[in-house]
Structure 1
């Protein structure tokens, strides 16, 4: 069975466009949550989000293509470009052996919201003929394949906030078992629009700290009251070890193991004891053939919801006790939904290479129910050899990845 390595990464997020900006924001503990500026949110119960501001897709992609694709596809294309630039791979050499798995939880929801408003106010004739392809979740993967001439396996995992975690795991599986030599894996999401905000707000999932947006996202804090909606995209280029070595690629990390399952408990609430999450983590460790003591850090899903943070913490505590460091990047950039896992995986690899863990600036009072070693309000310098990335989604979906430094 082949080893799977990472040779390129790209990210666009509320805390930065590109790895350099994101890394600096992590070191600076930059919080992206703010009052929504992309539309008038004054009539909504939640008026805050973590937006990517001043983003002009036409600076990155063809003007015609930008007009015919949704914002989430723009994010995917930007992340793919950065990842490919780093991987320095000649894709035509691997056209039929490159898989593309770019996930999303909700796809072209901004387009759907906009075009539905046109339909209601001006009639059917005003609806864009590109409505359907613009809202399809698989279109990010499809457009990437078209733009780069990639004819291998191509689909979009859809599992809510676990989606891009599934993309990484499934892409790794394809390479391991010889169905692909290279895979472009990740996720993209753009759902900061009136209808999604209203929907999440009405199910009590979002923070309502409208007057204090910078303090709204506070994973593990006793006063957390929900997540902050974010947006963005992240992509990793993964390859079979022998392919990367043959072309003398710089290897950034190794995808060592993964575990996937379902809580089978509730459509939106986690199993309160974190049983499914624990099982997924143990599956990932077994798959990677390493012990809990070999993990130094867990990049948590931890969205800042009352139930979710406790369930995940219980699962982590049962496996690792307090010997691993734990943080959640949602403290800084909000929740990127279907793109969260990939974005946080890129962030975790950046931290691994830089020997630090970013702070949790809003962790004023750790919830007494949480008995794990959460990074506090200051960054921590530490060596990371192996880490775990958790991702969980509505529907009970659980994904855990074990990633570490590559040793040939």
Structure 2
């Protein structure tokens, strides 16, 4: 049994996703409820040749970041841009803050898989001297946290959790722990991923994880639908700024919401498949609510992991129906944005917060109605007005990682 813990204030949000650059653009895209999946020329000739890419060229990132961009992998650039937005939104200034008391925790599941392929091709076609001396810094997953810390002059603890598709949520939970332990005063936390490449997409296809709806790509991601057949690969980053609630009030900040509780548990079951019982996911959910001092009946809304895969959606729907039988509203952003892997937990945490702020639940794209065996209240077709005071965000990852974040209105 977990004791209730002091809530943490979320004072800044930063998003860069297939919906656009900036929190507002992503929120509007998700509320519109239309999939952003398109054909991907980089995947021509593969069995799955569509993704959810960012709707602007990488040159835009480079101009926005400045001279340092040449040494960064794509996933790192996204993290830096999202972190800058989150810090601006929080009303903080890295030029004057006490950097030694600012932590950075940026999760990433895969790192620079695109650069691995690019550099290997250079080696094979042009020889060892054509491999970049910066190949490793552009590839390793922890460099997103490292470059964010450098960019923001944040000299406190810097961590890079890798819990697959739960990485971004794990980062936020770790941020809460660092603040509770008084190891920092501000945490820039979230997740990033830009892992679309010919090898990674083919590998997910071989696992049977991807939708193969190549004749209707905009309808491919269908969380909780009876005919769902897999997810759509995507890229993006989500970053939150977190502070102790008392500190935020003292400096006059207006929190978007409160992170009231966090729960994590392992399935200890299988490398890629969830157990039918969903015991680990339920343990994470109950721990998050216990830490928040909340009952299951207090939950108004669930931002589901909702991958659009047959196993995950069935297991998650059964969990929601069993653990939250009063029927909170349910949404799943992957129908619109695709699956951003290690960034998903942080992006969806930000969307959960925006749902609380705007009293509006986005619809699940491509879902006329949930599968008849799912006894959950999915929001479909259009957004729903709802006074959401308490919401949970689910994140589950390969390896059996389960993370649930509980947010309440500020």
* TM-score band, normalised by shorter chain: over 0.9
Cross-structure match for 2:40: 36
**Matched-pair contact (CA < 8 Å) for 2:321–2:327:** no
Q: Which residue of 2 aligns with 1:302?
A: 306
CA distance in 2, matches of 1:132, 1:123: 17
1:121 alignment partner, one of 108, 119, 125? 125
8 A contact 2:80–2:151 mirrored in 1: no
- Which segments of 5 or more consecutive residues in structure 2 lack a partner in the other structure? none
Asked if 2 retains the 8 angstrom alpha-carbon contact of 1:224 and 1:305, the reply is yes
Cα deviation, residue 322, structure 1: 4.4
TM alignment of 1:162-311, pairs within 5 A: 162-311=166-315
TM-score w.r.t. length of structure 1:
0.96
2:82 corresponds to 1:79 = yes
Partner of 1:106: 110
Distance 1:301 1:9 in 2: 20
Return 351-360 or 7-16, whichever deviates more. 351-360
Q: What residue is the counterpart of 1:69 in the other structure?
A: 72
CA distance in 2, matches of 1:244, 1:378: 35
Contact 2:297 2:324 (8 Å CA) reproduced: yes
Aligned partners of 2:193 and 2:342 also within 8 Å: yes
Aligned partners of 1:404 and 1:60: how far apart in 2?
33
User: Could you tell me how far 1:94 is from its partner in structure 2?
Assistant: 2.6
1: distance between equivalents of 2:166 and 2:374?
Answer: 22
Please report how far the alpha carbon of residue 58 of structure 1 lies from its aligned counterpart in structure 2 after TM superposition. Answer: 2.0
> Please, which of 50, 53, 57 is the counterpart of residue 55 of structure 2?
53
TM-superposition CA deviations, 1:274-303 (whole Å, max 9, x none): 111111101111111101111100000010
Structure 1 spans left out of the alignment, 5+ residues: none
Q: Do 2:257 and 2:357's aligned partners in 1 also have CA atoms closer than 8 Å?
A: no
Equivalences for 1:380-391 in 2 at 5 Å?
A: 380-391=384-395
The Cα offsets for residues 196-237 of structure 1, whole Å up to 9 and x where unpaired, read as 101101111000111211100000001000000010001000
Q: Equivalent residue of 2:164, what SS?
A: coil
Deviation at 1:242, TM superposition (A): 2.0
Partner of 2:340: 336
* Mapped partners of 1:144, 1:60: distance in 2: 14
1:361: Cα distance to partner? Answer: 3.0
Residues in 1 aligned to 2:316 and 2:194: alpha-carbon distance in whole angstroms = 26
**Residues 94 and 182 in structure 1, CA contact (< 8 A), matched pair in contact too:** no
Q: Report how far residue 350 of structure 1 moved.
A: 1.4
Q: Does 1:404 align with 2:408?
A: yes
Structure 1 residues 375-407: Cα deviation after superposition (integer angstroms, max 9, x where no partner) = 12221111110100000000000000100111x
Asked if structure 1 preserves the Cα contact closer than 8 Å seen for 2:178 and 2:184, the reply is yes
- Preserved CA contact (<8 Å) 1:15 1:30: no
Q: Residue 245 of structure 1: CA displacement?
A: 1.4
CA contact (8 A) 2:365 2:380 kept: yes
Q: What SS does structure 1 have at the residue aligned with 2:392?
A: strand
Displacement of 1:109 after TM fit?
1.2
Question: Hey, what's the Cα distance between the residues in 2 that align with 1:3 and 1:274?
Answer: 27
- 2:356 counterpart residue number: 352
**Does the CA contact (< 8 Å) of 1:48 and 1:213 recur in 2?**
yes
The corresponding residue for 1:362 is 366
- Distance apart, 1:315 and its partner CA: 1.1
Contact 1:322/1:372 (8 A) holds in 2: no
Tell me how far apart the structure 2 counterparts of residues 29 and 376 of structure 1 sit (CA, whole Å). Answer: 8
Count the aligned residue pairs: 403
Is 1:151 the counterpart of 2:125? The answer is: no
Question: Corresponding residue for 1:11?
Answer: 15
TM-score norm. by structure 2 comes to 0.96
Per-residue CA shift, 1:332-370, capped at 9, x if unaligned?
Answer: 000000000100111121122111111123113422331
8 A contact 1:165–1:399 mirrored in 2: yes
Which secondary structure does the structure 2 equivalent of 1:273 belong to?
Answer: coil
CA deviations over 1:57-77 (Å, ceiling 9, x no partner): 123101x32111000011001
Say if 1:327 and 1:360, in contact at 8 Å, map to a contact too: yes
